[in-house]
């Protein structure tokens, strides 16, 4: 067996749910598990997610995955973050008790025309500035009236999503817009609210409201990629996924030798490099730099070093100078325990979200309690 594997520590997920609870003690928690639980595999996380001590509900947007959750016995509320796409899905929502985001007039029309025996719970989504999904404030009050009148919406919750809770713009303007909709109509004032993603949970307690929607922090990464002082460790978050491999070959270089496709790294002194069984076909970011100026952090034998050379499909290269005793078989951590995916992502010009989601099916997975 090729030595690469992703080790998933379920106790870290449970721990991180606890971190959410400590930050938002008065809110219920939707664990965001879209994109196969951010690449971890939804089924593998179900024992923690479905536990009584786990989150209060699960939020995702893939209908097939949501149905599989019900079929595997998950009875907690399930929130569909993009709602139904076509009218024929509404019957499935009713049958499986899925809560639907309603972000457009089109969806309201479909719901009005649907024939369902029981109403479905809905999250009326307002566009308060993200300009992705959601209704403008002026359309929200009539939308609410139609939802109430059609008799097919059960519990109605108002939601919005922040564009820059992790950045300099913050949440104030969007939060104000939401509050102004709530104050515009008496009926809206009594509705539950859901606003906060991980960044807002960690930084803006005033947005916690009735339901929070953590994603990335559950998996042990930070939403504040641009602020090293707000690392995952700073918040006490533990990585769920550790991507491990081994050195499968060693090369001794002399000064001037080049490494990998395009020869983007040149040895400036005699040095040893280790060839690691991990490449972009495993989900390692191809743009992770390995030039003379910039490397990407990697742990070899528990010691920190850097990549050299360009990421290829199946292999990357590590400078073994800081680990002279390393050789074939020495364990390597690409990210996870001891080296946050946030750091690797930052070096590669992306975010940990993308690294976790990009893990490919050929990587063996080991699930630990
Ligand atoms: C993905 C998503 C979240 C979770 O965001 P994180 O930054 O991962 O916490 C919350 N709400 C909505 C609507 C989402 O799409």
Residue that terminates a domain, selected from 158, 192, 224: 224
Q: Does 215 fall in a domain?
A: yes
Q: How far is the CA of 366 from the centre of ligand 1 (A)?
A: 26
At residue 187, the pLDDT reads 62
Q: Is the pLDDT of residue 184 over 90?
A: no
Residue nearest to atom 15 of ligand 1 (CA): 81
Say whether pTM exceeds 0.95.
Answer: yes
Which of 16, 38, 55, 59 to mutate to test ligand 1, by most ligand atoms within 8 A of the CB atom? Answer: 59
Residue 97 shares a structural domain with residue 179: yes
Catalytic residue among 38, 179, 244, 261: 261
Tell me whether residue 233 is in a domain. no
23 belongs to a structural domain: yes
Strand 271-277 to 241-253 pairing: antiparallel
Select from 199, 247, 239 the least CA-distant residue to 219. Answer: 239
Domain count, the chain: 2
CB within 6 Å of ligand 1 — which residues? 32, 34, 81, 161, 197-198, 213-216, 223
Q: How far is CA 153 from CA 66, 80, 86, 102, in A?
A: 20, 15, 17, 10
The C-alpha angle with vertex 278 and arms to 344 and 334, in degrees rounded to 5, equals 30
Residue finishing a domain among 224, 254, 287: 224
Among the atoms of ligand 1, which is closest to the Cα of residue 125? 13
Q: CA-to-CA distance for 29 and 217, rounded, in angstroms?
A: 12
In terms of domains, do 293 and 144 share one?
A: no
CA 214 to ligand 1: nearest atom: 9
Q: Where are the alpha helices (DSSP H) in the chain?
A: 10-23, 34-39, 42-50, 63-71, 90-96, 105-113, 137-150, 172-184, 186-189, 198-203, 341-347, 352-357
Q: Are residues 257 and 208 in the same domain?
A: no
Tell me if residue 284 is catalytic: no
Is 269 one of the catalytic residues? no
Cα(339) to centroid(ligand 1), Å: 24
* Beta carbons of 307 and 295 less than 8 angstroms apart: yes
> Same domain, yes or no, for 172 and 260?
no
pLDDT in tens, 250-259: 999 999 999 9
Closest protein CA for atom 4 of ligand 1: 215
3-state SS class at 28: strand
**Sequence-ordered strand ranges (E) for 190-314:** 193-194, 211-212, 241-253, 258-259, 265-266, 271-277, 297-300, 303-308
Query: Structural domain of residue 268, as residue ranges?
Result: 241-368
Bridge partners, 300 (sequence order): 303, 332
Q: Does 22 lie in the same domain as 165?
A: yes
Q: Looking at the structure, do residues 220 and 327 belong to the same domain, yes or no?
A: no
- The domain spanning residue 278 has which CATH number? 2.40.37.10
Answer for the pair 257, 349: CB distance below 8 angstroms, yes or no: no
- What is the distance in A from the centroid of ligand 1 to the CA of 213? 6
- Express each pLDDT in 25-48 by its tens digit: 999 999 999 999 999 999 999 999
* Domain shared by 48 and 100, yes or no: yes
Q: Are residues 217 and 318 in the same domain?
A: no
Q: Distances from the Cα of 38 to the Cαs of 21, 261, 301, 343, in angstroms?
A: 20, 31, 27, 17
Q: Which residue has the higher pLDDT, 318 or 137?
A: 318
What pLDDT, in 10s, does the model give residues 196-246? 999 999 999 999 999 999 999 999 999 999 999 999 999 999 999 999 999
Task: Check: CB of residue 249 under 8 Å from CB of residue 314.
Answer: no
Ligand 1 centroid to Cα of residue 197, in Å, is: 5
Do residues 220 and 81 both lie within one domain? Answer: yes
CATH number at residue 73: 3.20.20.10
Q: Which of 35, 213, 221, 341 to mutate to test the pocket of ligand 1 (most atoms within 8 A of CB)?
A: 213
Of 224, 249, 277, the position where a domain reaches its end is 224
Question: 140 with 76, same domain?
Answer: yes
Q: Are residues 211 and 245 in the same domain?
A: no
Q: Is residue 236 part of a domain?
A: no
Q: From ligand 1's centre to the CA of 32, what distance in Å?
A: 6
**Among the atoms of ligand 1, which is closest to the Cα of residue 38?**
8
Cβ atoms 106, 158 nearer than 8 A: no
Examine residue 37 and state whether it is found in any structural domain, yes or no. yes
Q: Please report whether residue 230 resides in a domain.
A: no
> Looking at ligand 1, which residue's alpha carbon is closest to its atom 6?
215
Q: What is the pLDDT of residues 355-369, one digit of tens each?
A: 999 999 999 999 999
Question: What is 66-113 written as a DSSP string?
Answer: HHHHHHTT--S-EEETT--SSGGGHHHHHHHTEEEEE-SHHHHHHHHH
The predicted pLDDT at position 183 comes to 85
Per-residue pLDDT, averaged over 279-290, amounts to 98
Q: Is residue 32 part of a domain?
A: yes
Residues 152 and 27 in one domain: yes
Judged by DSSP in three states, 296 sits in coil
Reference 195, options 186, 187, 204; nearest CA is 204
Can you say whether the dihedral through the CA atoms of 68, 71, 74, 80 is positive or negative? positive
Give the Å distance between the CA of 69 and the centre of ligand 1: 19
Task: Kindly tell me the burial class for residue 268, based on how many C-beta atoms sit within 10 Å of its own C-beta (0-12, 13-18, 19 or more).
Answer: exposed
What is the rounded CA–CA span in Å between residue 138 and residue 157?
17
Is residue 235 included in any domain, yes or no? no
How many Å apart are CA 297 and CA 184, to the nearest integer? 52
Q: How far apart (Å, rounded) are the C-alpha atoms in residues 192 and 203?
A: 21
Average pLDDT over residues 308-329: 98
Separation of alpha carbons 264 and 139, rounded Å: 54
């Amino acid at each position: 067996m090729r030595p690469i594997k992703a080790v998933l520590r379920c106790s870290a997920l449970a721990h991180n749910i606890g971190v959410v609870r400590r930050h938002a003690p008065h809110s219920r928690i939707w664990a965001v598990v879209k994109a196969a639980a951010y690449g971890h595999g939804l089924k593998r996380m179900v024992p923690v997610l479905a536990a009584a001590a786990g989150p209060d509900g699960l939020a995702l947007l893939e209908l097939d995955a949501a149905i599989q959750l019900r079929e595997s016995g998950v009875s907690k509320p399930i929130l569909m973050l993009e709602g139904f796409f076509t009218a024929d899905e509404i019957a499935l929502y009713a049958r499986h008790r899925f809560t639907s985001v309603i972000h457009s007039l089109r969806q309201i029309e479909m719901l009005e025309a649907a024939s369902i025996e029981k109403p479905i719970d809905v999250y009326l989504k307002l566009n308060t500035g993200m300009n992705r999904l959601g209704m403008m404030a002026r359309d929200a009050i009539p939308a609410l009236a139609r939802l109430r009148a059609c008799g097919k919406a059960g519990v109605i919750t108002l939601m919005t999503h922040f564009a820059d809770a992790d950045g300099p713009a913050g949440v104030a303007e969007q939060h104000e817009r939401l509050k102004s909709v709530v104050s515009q109509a008496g009926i809206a004032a009594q509705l539950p609210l859901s606003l906060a993603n991980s960044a807002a949970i960690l930084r803006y307690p005033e947005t916690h409201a009735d339901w929070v929607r953590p994603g990335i922090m559950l998996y042990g990464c930070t939403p504040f990629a641009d602020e090293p002082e707000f690392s995952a460790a700073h918040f006490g978050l533990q990585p769920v996924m550790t991507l491990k491999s081994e050195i499968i070959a060693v090369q001794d270089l002399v000064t001037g030798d080049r490494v990998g496709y395009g020869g983007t790294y040149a040895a400036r002194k005699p040095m040893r490099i280790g060839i690691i069984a991990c490449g972009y076909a495993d989900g390692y970011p191809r743009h992770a730099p390995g030039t003379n100026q910039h490397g990407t952090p990697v742990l070899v034998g528990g010691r920190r070093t850097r990549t050299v050379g360009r990421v290829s499909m199946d292999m990357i290269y590590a400078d073994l100078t800081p680990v002279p005793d390393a050789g074939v078989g020495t364990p390597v951590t690409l990210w996870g325990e001891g080296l946050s995916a946030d750091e690797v992502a930052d070096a590669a010009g992306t975010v940990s979200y993308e690294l976790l989601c990009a893990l490919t099916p050929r990587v063996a997975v080991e699930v630990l309690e």
